[in-house]
């Protein structure tokens, strides 16, 4: 259980175009999903917290107009990198927290998707 998928797994695009990345929880409901970015040989940096049915919460320094997040259902969150530039090239990873049906609240463990490698030419 607790499988999270991402699509696409990799994408190459031209500078100035927009790219959409999907994050799905396959076998559980996720009211909260997180989006991270990771540059080579660096750790994960949280970009934003995505809550189903409400606006995402962005971390300091992350442009919300550039990184659009939509969490339309309990199993799907999308990140759109608008007007991508070469400096946006990175490994984008989502994670999801699962609702514990016995306790009726979010469990603490986050389950990560396989990541999307974005290369902007």
Partner 1 sequence: GQNIDQPTEMTATEGAIVQINCTYQTSGFNGLFWYQQHAGEAPTFLSYNVLDGLEEKGRFSSFLSRSKGYSYLLLKELQMKDSASYLCAVIGEDSSYKLIFGSGTRLLVRP
Nearer to partner 1, 94 or 120 (CB): 94
Binding range to partner 1, per CB under 8 A, among 14-22, 61-69, 73-81, 110-118 = 110-118
Three-class DSSP category at 2:
coil
Binders in 75-94 for partner 1, by CB under 8 A: 91, 93
What's the full length of the chain, in residues?
121
Sole binder of partner 1 in the list 1, 14, 43, 54 (CB under 8 A): 43
End-to-end CA distance of the chain: 37
> Binding to partner 1 by residue 54, rule CB under 8 A?
no
Cα gap 23→116, rounded to integer Å: 10
How much of the chain is helix, strand and coil, in % rounded to 5?
Answer: 0, 55, 40
Residues in contact with partner 1 by the rule CB under 8 A: 32, 34, 41-46, 49, 57, 91, 93, 95, 97, 106, 108-115, 117
């Amino acid at each position: 259980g607790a499988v999270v998928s991402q699509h696409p797994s990799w994408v190459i695009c031209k500078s100035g175009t927009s790219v959409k990345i999907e994050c799905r929880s396959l076998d559980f409901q996720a009211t909260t999903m997180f989006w991270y970015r990771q540059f080579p040989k660096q750790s994960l940096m949280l970009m934003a917290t995505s809550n189903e049915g409400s606006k995402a919460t962005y971390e300091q320094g992350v442009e919300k107009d550039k990184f659009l997040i939509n969490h339309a259902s309990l199993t799907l969150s999308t990140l759109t990198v608008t007007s991508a530039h070469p400096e946006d090239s990175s490994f984008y990873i989502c994670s999801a927290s699962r609702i514990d049906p016995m306790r009726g609240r979010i469990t603490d463990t986050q389950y990560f998707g396989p990541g999307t490698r974005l290369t902007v030419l």
